[in-house]
Amino acid sequence: MFTRIFVRNMSVNLSTKILNNSELAERRLSELKHKLEEVRKFKIQEKIQELTKENAVLASKVETAKAELIRLETLHGKKQYQLPGQKTVAVCSTPNSDNQEINAPDTKKVKKEKEPAKKKEKVENSQSIGDTIIDVRKLDLRIGKIIDINKHPDADSLYVEKIDCGEDNPRTVVSGLVNHVPIEEMRDRIVMVLCNLKPVKMRGVTSEAMVMCASSPEKVEVLLPPSGAVPGDLVSCDGYPRQPEPQMNPKKKIFETCAPDLKTDQHKVACYKGSPLVVPGKGPIVAPTLKGVQVK
């Protein structure tokens, strides 16, 4: 009798233990499934971020290549036209160019056929010009190397530099940096240069570009391009695909419009409206020490 009771109790205990183990196994299996799902989501999100970064780099390279193509076309005599509702296209400036026949209407025919609408066309054209976007994409920022520098013969506060910007000939640049940066620190220096300003004479020397600096009332620092940057590298700004004009019209005040939004951030990175200025594939433009100051 005792043996029978003992066996029955053992059977009950064994059944209970098996049930408990089964429940524990199901619970752990559920936890593992949950963790696996979390890992899967994390990996997917990680892959999405990786692809997004790759897409951004590729988009920047495409815009850089496009800007370089436009620059080369301009240098070889192809004028750039902004057509309504279309991207900028280049057409040959030769009078009888086929491209001009396609893209440019016969003004005499238009005048004869649409004489009553002349005033309306003028209004629309002026609105088109007024709607043109003016921001950092219009600035031709490039990397240059100072290959020669001397003090201005007629101005104690000015340097006269020869800067290689990756072009056939170096540019002459006049910079008011004598009181801020020793000449020894300027020699052979890699810098960021604004290249599409209208050339202007400064105390008798024509300046063809501007060396970009971080500037506060107390201190001025020449900006530092990333390691590996070379003369001719183009500087881009994420969200603002490069569309620089060959030479900015001073009357449009393009640089003056952009200047208030060109600043270094809290990490000393030069930015436009918070978006870093970068050499694609190489890194951002930074200031040596200055944070939250104007870039000019």
Give residue 80's pLDDT: 60
Give residue 115's pLDDT: 46
Give residue 49's pLDDT: 82
Pair 79, 90: CB distance under 8 Å:
yes
Give residue 39's pLDDT: 85
Taking only the tens place, the pLDDT of each residue in 83-125 is 544 444 444 433 344 444 334 444 444 444 444 444 444 434 4
Taking CA atoms, 142 is separated from 25, 96, 210, 235, 242, in Å, by 64, 35, 10, 5, 11
C-alpha–C-alpha distance, residues 272 and 259, integer Å: 9
Pair 291, 215: CB distance under 8 Å:
no
pLDDT at 63 over 70: yes
Give residue 230's pLDDT: 95
How buried is 288 (Cβ within 10 angstroms: 0-12 exposed, 13-18 middle, 19+ buried)?
A: exposed
Among 170, 164, 117, residue whose Cα is nearest residue 143 = 164
DSSP run (H or E) holding 278: strand 275-279
- CATH for 136-295 (2.40.50.140, 3.40.47.10, 2.40.50.100, 2.60.40.10): 2.40.50.140
Q: How confident is the model at residue 253 (pLDDT cuts 50, 70, 90)?
A: very high
Taking only the tens place, the pLDDT of each residue in 146-197 is 999 999 999 999 999 999 999 999 999 999 999 999 999 999 999 999 999 9
Q: Beta 213-215 vs 236-237: how paired, if at all?
A: unpaired
Taking only the tens place, the pLDDT of each residue in 14-39 is 777 787 777 788 888 888 888 888 88
Mean pLDDT score of the chain: 81
pLDDT at 263 over 80: yes
The domains of the chain are located at 1-74, 78-130, 136-295
